[in-house]
Chains A and B, each alone.
Chain A
Amino acid sequence: MISFDPGLIIWTTIIFTLLLVVLKKFAWKPILHAVDERNQLIKESLQEAEKARTEMSELTANNEKIMTQARADRDVLLKEARDMKNEIIAQAKEQANNEAEKLVSSAREQISNEKMKALTELKNQVADLSIEMAEKVLAAELKDAEKQKELVSKALRDNN
């Protein structure tokens, strides 16, 4: 009952060969081809992603560098500007001081000149006034002989 059956052996050979041929053409080749292709695609995509990531990180590093450079440049520029400003201010201040000093000194000179003028005038007027008054007093005093005498004597006394 468990013996080799030639009919079954022939049928199995035919059916299996047919299966082999059909599956080879319509199943295994397309499936394996598609799978390999997809694996290749995945591999390439991963490589591309890796490359993009490297590029990205390079780019970021570059940006960072540029940023640092720019910041440094800005700092230098700012510093220069600040220095310049300070210098300008200092200069302006000095100039202003000088100018003010000059003004003040000239004003002072003028004032002293004016003062001198005014004093001279005043002296002259006082002198005139004194002379006038002295004339008047003398005139009044010298009306009387007695008094003249007394005055002379007194003056003599004083001089001694």
Chain B
Amino acid sequence: MLNKVSLLTFLISLSFSLVVFSGENQSSEDKGFNPTPHILHHIADSYEWHLWGKVSIPLPVILYTEGHLDVFMSSKFHHGESKVTKDDRVYKIDHHHIVEENNKQVMNLSITKNVASMILSVLLLFFILIKTSRSYTHKKVAPKGLQAFLEPLILFVRDDIIKSNIGPKHEKYTMFLLTVFFFILINNLLGLTPGAANVTGNISVTFVLSLFTFIIITISANKGYWKHLVKPPGTPLPLLPIMIPIEIFGVFTKPFALMIRLFANITAGHIIIFSLISLIFVASNNGANAIAGWSVAPISVLFVLFIFLIEILVAFLQAYIFTLLSAVFIGLAVKEESH
């Protein structure tokens, strides 16, 4: 697992560093506006919640360094300009990451922007869903308000995604899949609000979600599922040396695809919106050519609006797809053999 993670990290950071480098090269040639750092800053996690200009909300930094727990607010870094000293440990921000000056091993458990946003979204979900469940105590009344909006959604997820894909044994997985659906949905939607974090566009978050699916598939898989791996039915004998590795590889590609799909879709949406906004500043050459900037602005705003509406659709779609595919994979693992 660890190897897989590091390989993935390598591949992704490679592709992104290509983007970063191409942007940096361009900016060094002509000193125009370079949107890349702004975009990457937006989609990345950070130790403070940046609102606008120089205004940001400081968040708690929690570090565990060689047996010492250091807790302080991120404002002590002064936006990465100063170092924080705790006894013999000196922390500084290097390329958006906290490191210890004397190369001590740091376990970083900070409440970052993504963690804070996630906590906010979870509290919001608690509020909305528990409020909805309360409204069921008045029995024999037709659903209304929040309940009338959420009930069809909940029932759609349960009946059309979970029940129809997992079959009679769906009860055990309903709670997990419903939670995943609403967790992804609310974080997708919150991610679209200005100044919000990019939670579901963060690979660590989607990794955890797909890991949950992977663990559930592996734990609940029946005999037939494992038999399929070592002896795929209907395969001619000479093909087995090829098929068995493919089948075993497939066990990992399923959750891997879940992780990448959600991360890439949400991140891509954010990048597109930011790129379209950046077009204004690129055209105006960072304020040097105001007329060009103003003339590009209406087109850019129209496109942003269009993409934004698509992103709202994508927010629902990706929550649906993640839940649907998780249900399909669990269904494949628990279904009774019919042949």
A contacts, CB < 8 Å to B: 1-13, 15-16, 18-20, 22-24, 26-32, 34-35, 37-38, 41
A26 with B130: CB separation less than 8 A: yes
1/0 contact string of B10-32 vs chain A (CB within 8 Å): 00110010001000000000000
A12 with B204: CB separation less than 8 A: yes
Known: A11-B118, A16-B183. A26 touches B133 (CB 8 A): yes
Best-buried of A2, A16, A24, A31 by chain B (most CB within 10 Å): A2
Give the CA-CA distance A37 to B125 in the complex, in Å: 24
Residues of A close to B114: CB separation below 8 A: 8
A30 with B133: CB separation less than 8 A: yes
B204 with A16: CB separation less than 8 A: no
Residues of A close to B95: CB separation below 8 A: 1
Q: Does B318 contact A (CB under 8 A)?
A: no
15 interchain pairs (CB within 8 A)? A2-B16, A3-B9, A5-B108, A7-B108, A7-B115, A8-B202, A11-B115, A12-B118, A19-B125, A20-B175, A23-B178, A23-B179, A28-B154, A32-B158, A41-B140
Q: How far is the CB of B214 from chain A (nearest CB, A)?
A: 13
Question: Closest A-chain residue to B20, C-beta based?
Answer: A1
Residues of B close to A15: CB separation below 8 A: 115, 118-119, 122
12 additional A-B pairs beyond A18-B122, A27-B132, beta carbons within 8 Å, are A1-B20, A3-B9, A4-B8, A8-B202, A12-B204, A13-B208, A26-B133, A27-B129, A28-B175, A31-B154, A32-B154, A41-B140
Interface pairs A-B: 10 shortest CB-CB: A34-B136, A27-B129, A8-B204, A12-B208, A30-B133, A7-B108, A24-B175, A11-B115, A3-B9, A5-B204
Please give the number of chain B residues whose Cβ is less than 8 angstroms from any Cβ of chain A in the complex: 52
User: In terms of DSSP, what is the predominant structure of the interface of chain B?
Assistant: helix
Question: Closest B-chain residue to A9, C-beta based?
Answer: B204
User: In terms of DSSP, what is the predominant structure of the interface of chain A?
Assistant: helix
Give the CA-CA distance A34 to B143 in the complex, in Å: 11
B212 with A16: CB separation less than 8 A: yes
Give the CA-CA distance A18 to B121 in the complex, in Å: 13
Known: A3-B12, A28-B174. A8 touches B115 (CB 8 A): yes
Those of B123-166 within 8 Å (CB) of chain A: 125-126, 129-130, 132-133, 136, 139-140, 151, 154-155, 158
Residues of B close to A34: CB separation below 8 A: 133, 136, 139
Which of B122, B151, B207 contacts A19 (CB under 8 A)?
B122
A24 with B179: CB separation less than 8 A: yes
Question: Closest A-chain residue to B151, C-beta based?
Answer: A35
Residues of A close to B208: CB separation below 8 A: 9, 12-13, 16
Give the CA-CA distance A107 to B122 in the complex, in Å: 126
Q: Does B321 contact A (CB under 8 A)?
A: no
Which of B13, B154, B209 contacts A16 (CB under 8 A)?
B209
Give the CA-CA distance A93 to B119 in the complex, in Å: 112
Residues of B close to A18: CB separation below 8 A: 122
Those of B199-220 within 8 Å (CB) of chain A: 202-205, 207-209, 212
Give the CA-CA distance A31 to B122 in the complex, in Å: 18
Q: Does B109 contact A (CB under 8 A)?
A: yes
B9 with A6: CB separation less than 8 A: no
Give the CA-CA distance A8 to B209 in the complex, in Å: 12
Give the CA-CA distance A23 to B202 in the complex, in Å: 23
Give the CA-CA distance A8 to B206 in the complex, in Å: 11
B130 with A8: CB separation less than 8 A: no
Give the CA-CA distance A145 to B119 in the complex, in Å: 185
Q: How far is the CB of B91 from chain A (nearest CB, A)?
A: 14
A8 with B44: CB separation less than 8 A: no
Q: How far is the CB of B37 from chain A (nearest CB, A)?
A: 10
Residues of A close to B221: CB separation below 8 A: none
Give the CA-CA distance A112 to B229 in the complex, in Å: 140
Which of A3, A7, A23, A38 contacts B13 (CB under 8 A)?
A3
A8 with B112: CB separation less than 8 A: yes
Residues of A close to B8: CB separation below 8 A: 4
